[in-house]
Amino acid sequence: MTITRRALAGASLGAIAAPRIAHAAWPADRAIEVVVPFPPGGGVDIMTRAFLPYLQARLPGARFVVNNRGGAGGQVGAEAIANAAPDGYTIGASSMPGFVSIPIERATRYQPAAMTLLANVVDDPCAIAVRANSPIRTLADFIAAARARPETVTFATTGIGSDDHLAMLAFEGLTNTQVVHVPFTGMPQLLPQVLSGTVDVAALNVSEALQPVRDGQLRCIAQAGATRWAQMPDVPTYREQGVDLVASASRGLSAPGGLPAPIREQLEAACRAALEDPAFIADAERLGMPLRPIIGAEYRSFVLDIEARYRVLWQQKPWRDR
């Protein structure tokens, strides 16, 4: 049998036109990696793990895998999110002000403005707490000790440029004190040092203090909300104790820049629905997470406004070496 050139061409075209094995569309093709820029057990990790089941329920076929990538106050994880492929299979948690303050103070491989900013979940007031048997019983005691022993009393945070660090810098200015900063990579590293007395004071968020306070390990002596948090009604605010300080950590979700609009829109819609779910709201209250839903373009403006304020602060009082 003679095979003509036309037949060969037809066979080639047939091979090219043969149906390919189809892959499932996003988000069902493979697991979505969720980068948490802090170790397990801290406020950002707790928020992320609590929120993801509700987000997953609004994204049929989605499967989430959490990857804790702590280091450099959140920089390592933020860089991992920013530099991942913008295909919807990597998202991550972000925590402000560190998310915006770190690129101000040093060179990084991410810029918040270049990323996809999906939604804010939590707004968590700052606080200070001491071990249960500490001689520091009140905010006035802490101020007195800091004034009596300048640059001797120590406070622990989860990193340079974190919300708690910047709140303590503001505290120093408002109270004319000088205390020594001891940064850690996360709450699991910080808490034992405070409980042992190695560090005098923990500067943390109310959600992070809640369980150790309930367990009798810590005593919270001030919270930096504008009003007392309902979960800690017996802890006075800074303002009630004569210090005009209001500060908090805002925690949400981000993704690499350039995320395709259909994927971004699905994620934003899923975040909105999850944040409105009464079951999630109840879980958040049980876990001690103060909620503040902000979605999409509104969240982007929120983040960039905070970044602009910290750029001004950096010019006035650089915090990198404090």
Query: Residue 187: what pLDDT?
Result: 86
* Eight-state DSSP code of residue 237: B
- Three-class secondary structure of residue 75 per DSSP: helix
CA 114 to chain centre: 18
Cα–Cα distance, 268 to 272 (Å, whole number): 6
pLDDT at residue number 304: 96
- Minimum mean pLDDT range among 63-67, 192-196, 311-315: 311-315
Of residues 4 and 200, more confidence is placed in: 200
Is pLDDT above 80 for 26?
Answer: yes
pLDDT of residue 90: 98
User: From the centroid of its chain, how far is CA 21?
Assistant: 40
B/e letters for 34-57, b = 16+ CB within 10 Å, e = fewer, are bbbbbbeebbbbbbbbbbbebbbe
- Rounded CA-CA distance 217/131 in Å is 6
Give me the percent of the chain exceeding a pLDDT of 70: 92
Compute the average pLDDT of residues 62-75.
94
The token pair at 206 is 């109310």
Segment 150-178 mean pLDDT: 91
217: its two tokens: 């390990």
pLDDT of residue 24: 58
Structure tokens at 158: 């989860």
- pLDDT of 322: 57
Highest mean pLDDT range out of 13-27, 266-280, 307-321? 266-280
Domains of the chain: 32-122+249-316 (3.40.190.150), 124-241 (3.40.190.10)
What is the phi/psi pair of residue 163, to 5°? -60, -40
Q: Residue 312 pLDDT > 80, yes or no?
A: yes
**Higher local confidence (pLDDT), 208 or 215:** 215
In this prediction, residues 118-123 reach a mean pLDDT of 96
Query: Mean pLDDT in the chain?
Result: 90
Per the CB < 8 A criterion, the answer to whether 259 and 117 are in contact is no
- ∠ CA 251-174-163, nearest 5°, is 15
The SS3 assignment for 255 reads strand
Rounded-to-integer distance, Cα 157 and Cα 49, Å: 22
Backbone angles phi, psi at 292, to 5 degrees: -150, 85
Give the pLDDT mean for 139-166. Answer: 93
What pLDDT is stored for residue 158 in this prediction? 85
| Dihedral over Cα of 36, 92, 102, 291: its sign | negative
pLDDT at 8: 37
Residue 19 and residue 81: Cα distance in Å, rounded? 35
- Average pLDDT on 64-78 reads 94
